[in-house]
Chain A
């Protein structure tokens, strides 16, 4: 968004020199809830944090198409098929809005994508789990998109303007994702005993990985403090996780499904307190050892390589037309 060319002005380097006055004025603007725009002065660490966060978010949307794309051709009805197709198309759009937001910070989409394909950039751990049955598509919409919405709503007020605006767009589109997922769950739960068992099995497999989506517990999170000060992050990982659990438990009860957490209790204030999360699993998945990490990267690399001729042909065609136009103008 806006023009990246401006960020390459010769005085851009001077502008990144962090003098104390700049930093103070920057923080004062953040404290006053002002939005930071691409060509405004910003601390180098703020820029770096945002490029990392926004690009990881973008990669997640793109890789996130794979587990669901797996079921498009096998959706049980035309209604389900068009919904799933539209949802997966939305996720692609979300990825593109986010790459564009990251580019306003001076990164290039090509570099960001290459880093992801090289396995150097992270994406959400959740997309490294397999979609074994149709019920997984229901659970993903209901819980994975539900968790993403929890995380994305506060980001609509993020201090960085282009990211906040991308999130507003994303959140508007996201609500149908969750609703179509819950509708799938409701249909399965009102169906035969086998269908309901399938729904419960999917919930059992996805529940804990979904809770991990909110990231490590607050005391272990490395990026919390600065991001909070800069108003990139408005709620801590644990706060968002708690909000999500409180919202989700009644929805599971309505479906007649049980949360696979024998240690779960409701406290005096009505909050549902989950049992201990197995963070070693989370670390394993982040380290590349989840059930589908290799598959996901291989699929993205194949798509990228298979599309190379299209990018090359489009560039060659644009070049040819430019050449012809120049020749015509010279005549």
Chain B
């Protein structure tokens, strides 16, 4: 028996926030209801097939005024890799000074993106 399932995905492309009701068969969409424009359909298909997200977190930094450095990925990463990526960066410690844009982790997990600093942090003089 082929399984029929239903799913609801909220389109976040514009403030209208349409809720797409999907009917699916074997993981394929057979019907989409509730979207008000074609941009929504494109979004919903991408969300279903290969959802990606911007990635950002902090890593530890030594020798700066604050102990954490904010970082981001240069491109969005697959949604289901967010937590793996967080864990991959959990033990990273960098040394100040750091400049925004500097690569903090190169191609983690082979995702094809780099993790870069999003702010400058100067080195503070040791007391």
Chain A complexes with chain B = no
> Which of A's residues lie within 8 Å of B, judged by CB?
none
> Which of B's residues lie within 8 Å of A, judged by CB?
none
